[in-house]
Amino acid sequence: MNRKPIFVFIPIALFFALGGIVMLLWNWLIPIIFGLKTITYLQALGLFLLSRILLGSFGFGNKRPPFANPKFREKMMNMTEEERQQFREEWKSRCKR
């Protein structure tokens, strides 16, 4: 049984479903709060797409913190005590800004 087509249709279906949710939430809240007009389904899809482009990453990419990276962890384990102290001081100065 070939399941590859399902993995293509699920993100597409989610995109269109989320467009409907954006439309419903906009039309429920925004006209009452800000006095703006209601939007259509296609406008909601465009608004959702624009917000993902400007604010989000579409869920792709590395979501792990840099400290979970195996290369970083190996580098930290192989540091001398002086290098570790210098690293700590550098991060302390960065965090104080």
pLDDT values of the chain reduced to their tens digit, one per residue, 97 residues:
566 777 788 888 998 999 999 999 999 999 999 999 999 999 999 999 998 888 876 665 656 666 677 888 888 888 899 998 998 898 888 887 5
Burial (CB count <10 Å: 0-12, 13-18, 19+), residue 34? exposed
Q: What total number of domains does the chain contain?
A: 2
- 80 and 44 in a common domain: no
Q: Which helix (H) or strand (E) holds 76?
A: helix 70-77
**pTM assigned to the model:** 0.55
Q: Are 20 and 41 in contact (CB under 8 A)?
A: yes
- 20 and 57 in a common domain: yes
Domain span including residue 89: 64-97
**Gap between the Cα atoms of 22 and 30, Å rounded:** 11
- 47 and 15 in a common domain: yes
In a 13 Å sphere around the CA of 77, the CA atoms on its Cβ side amount to 8
- 71 and 56 in a common domain: no
- 75 and 45 in a common domain: no
